[in-house]
Chain A
Amino acid sequence: MKRSNYITMGVLLIAILAFVWMTSTKDKGEEINLMTWGGDFIPRVIIDEFTEETGIKVNYKEVTSNEDMQSLLEANPDQYDLAVVTDYMVDILRQNGMLEKLDKSKMPNVQNINPVYQGNYYDPNDEYSIPYAVSTSFLLVNPEAVAALGARPITSYKDLWQPELKNKIVLIDWSVEIIGLVLKSLGYEYNETDPVKVAQAKEKLFELKPNIVRFETNTPEDSLVNGEAVVGFMYSNQAVKGQTANPKLQPVFPEEGFPIYIDSWVMSKQAPHKDAAYKFLNFILQPEIAARIAEMTKFTSPNKAAEQHLSDEFRNNPMLNLPDDAARRTSFYIGVEKVLEEYEHIYSEFKLR
């Protein structure tokens, strides 16, 4: 190669870097930057309609966890307008002073939100967050198979301890959820710290061991579909998938109560495009739009006015359109960090048995 070639290569390299720099800095018109999970958690079709209607471009930053969103938001609070985070993360961000107090006069459609999903511990006065997607965990049951084993029909967690269900239960594999289930079956609350109650739960948990055929976090519904298990404790979207694969499977919302997760919109205190962000929030809070989002993402919509726009199939499925009376029996996992170490300890002892 000649010297001139090297000079060309050098110039090329600098040009590439310059080009890269330029493309990442150029600003085009009005826009908002939002951040949350991908996989059409916020459907692209809906975003496109918003852009068409208002001319505001939406940049959708996809992340993999609440914790990623926290680090990104805390490092660059002036680069993100909106994020959708889970309940406990709203609490953390709010206490760290990262969140903007929302101006409801700029988004009148916020009145469509179902009060059942408001006033929760992470935002008691509904000042910082707007619920977007509601999900739960509960029992998915194959009633015929349960009867065939000679067991009582399952209506509560207590029924899981029946000896007839030996090797017939599948559980999601997380200490806090499973110990939570046992605590509920004893009539206690999630994330109990009282050592007497925890010891009681531990004993009860160990008694459940012979009935468990599998621990599976990603696809627990498959164990019910292939007949390995007759009852499973899993997340609502997994239960929906299970029922689609086998219509005989039925949800059971346990009498003792069950966990809920609410993913909510929050706005960065230093959001660079606040007005455009309010326009976006108001747009997706419209009943028809909220209904379409629910149908596409298969999460329960916290938008009460959206219900009449849902398809019959969606509206009549309690897993997808959680009834209000069931929603009142739900509770959050609060203060996980306080119990995690002890629960993990108990849980690993339990799994090793």
Chain B
Amino acid sequence: MTKANRWQTIYLAVFFVILYLPVLSVILYSFNANPSTAKWTGLTLDWYRELFDDLKKHATGEALVVSIQVAVLTAALSAVLGTAAAIVSQSLSERMKKAVQWVMLLPLLVPEVALGVSLLMFFNALRLPFGHLTLVLSHSLFCVPYVYVMVRLRLAEIDREVIESARDLGATRWQAVRTIILPLVMPSIITASLLAIAMSLDDVVISTYMSGPRTTTLPVHIFSMMRVGVTPKVNALCTLILLGTFLIIGLNQVVSMKSKTRGLSN
């Protein structure tokens, strides 16, 4: 190993330790028998048992269900909108493309609180009922850009001649999109949708404003416990969410690997 190489390894090791140490401590303390993080008094699964009792009762369980519903619907909606926008913007002039890109990225640049409050006022003016609908719409607002960007990147890789020859051979524009473009960009759409699910599951600020009087999402539910005090149950919950996230990432890896091998055989 050269000297530079060794430093690189050390740097990476330190980087990952700092990044993942807090996460590891959450997992560790979810098994701590003592409710205080000051002392380690042995292993226990009590917090998981309490958590599952909680999930059966309405508050936490309901919030989890709401979060999953919203995340899946958000992913579906933003996949459709983002992909459509990316495909349509392909036929625009370079200048227009740049403009569309900017407008698309705008929701990511605006601070979440500002976005939350302005959406609150906007939906209020439209008299939309606050709940699942407003949650899905507002989450899609910050998820569509990711789909758009990822699909755009993939589209740029596609040989334009493939599409042009399809058109030459008599395919309508719609047929070309359906039979050629969509299958080629599908891996990007799936990756972006999984990202959208993760982002939607994560959101606290916008969800606080968008959920209305009858619904609560899981992250808001957890954050709102601060007044009463957080119990190790939350560590258990976070550990499970982490597990779920790893599962999604793993799934995504499998999908992208599959698509790569297919890409090579083509």
Contacts and interface: CB of A to CB of B under 8 A. Distances in A.
Interface of A: 1, 3, 6, 9, 13, 16-17, 20-21, 23-25, 33, 35, 37-41, 44, 59-64, 68, 71-72, 75-76, 79-80, 219, 221-223, 225-226, 237-238, 241, 244-245, 263, 297-298
B216 interface: yes
A285 B66 CA distance: 32
Contact of A24 (B174, B214, B216): B214
Contacts, number: 137
B71 to A, nearest CB: 13
A108 B212 CA distance: 31
B133 A225 contact: no
Contacts of A33: 213-214
Interface in B73-101: 73, 76-77, 80
A219 B234 CA distance: 15
B84 to A, nearest CB: 11
Given A1-B182, A13-B80, A68-B208, A23 B224 contact: no
Contact of A75 (B121, B174, B182, B221): B121
Interface of B: 34-39, 57-59, 63, 73, 76-77, 80, 117, 120-121, 124, 129-134, 136, 174, 178, 182, 204, 208-209, 211-216, 220-221, 223-230
Given A38-B216, A297-B228, 15 more contacts: A17-B77, A39-B224, A39-B228, A39-B230, A41-B228, A44-B58, A61-B211, A62-B63, A62-B220, A63-B208, A72-B209, A76-B124, A226-B38, A245-B38, A263-B227
Nearest to A32: B213
B131 A71 contact: no
Nearest to B225: A39
21 contacts: A1-B178, A17-B133, A21-B129, A23-B131, A25-B129, A35-B213, A37-B227, A41-B228, A61-B212, A61-B213, A62-B63, A62-B216, A63-B224, A64-B226, A219-B36, A237-B229, A241-B36, A245-B35, A245-B36, A263-B227, A298-B229
A79 B212 contact: yes
Given A40-B59, A80-B213, A222 B37 contact: yes
Contacts of B57: 44
A225 B35 CA distance: 12
A72 B214 CA distance: 13
B77 A13 contact: yes
Contacts of B174: 3
A237 B36 CA distance: 13
B224 A24 contact: no
Interface of B is mostly: helix
A1 B129 CA distance: 35
Contact of B35 (A16, A75, A79, A241): A241
B130 A79 contact: yes
A80 B209 CA distance: 13
A16 B140 CA distance: 14
B36 A64 contact: no
A20 B134 CA distance: 9
Contacts of B229: 39, 237-238, 241, 298
Given A23-B131, A76-B130, A221 B36 contact: yes
A62 B224 contact: yes
Given A75-B120, A76-B124, A222-B38, A38 B225 contact: yes
A37 B121 contact: no
Given A44-B58, A62-B220, A20 B132 contact: yes
Nearest to B59: A44
B120 A71 contact: yes
A317 B120 CA distance: 44
Contacts of A3: 174, 178
Nearest to A242: B36
Contact of A59 (B178, B214, B230): B214
Contact of A20 (B133, B212, B220, B223): B133
Nearest to A238: B229
Nearest to B229: A237
Given A63-B224, A237-B228, A222 B129 contact: no
B228 A61 contact: no
B195 to A, nearest CB: 20
A13 B76 contact: yes
Given A1-B182, A41-B228, A21 B130 contact: no
A71 to B, nearest CB: 6
Nearest to A75: B120
Contacts of B132: 20, 23-24
B221 A226 contact: no
Contacts of B131: 20, 23-24
A25 B37 CA distance: 44
Nearest to B213: A33
Contact of B117 (A9, A40, A71, A223): A71
Contacts of A75: 117, 120-121, 124, 209
A308 to B, nearest CB: 25
Contacts of B117: 71, 75
A38 B129 contact: no
A59 B213 contact: yes
A24 B77 CA distance: 18
B73 A20 contact: yes
A62 B229 CA distance: 14
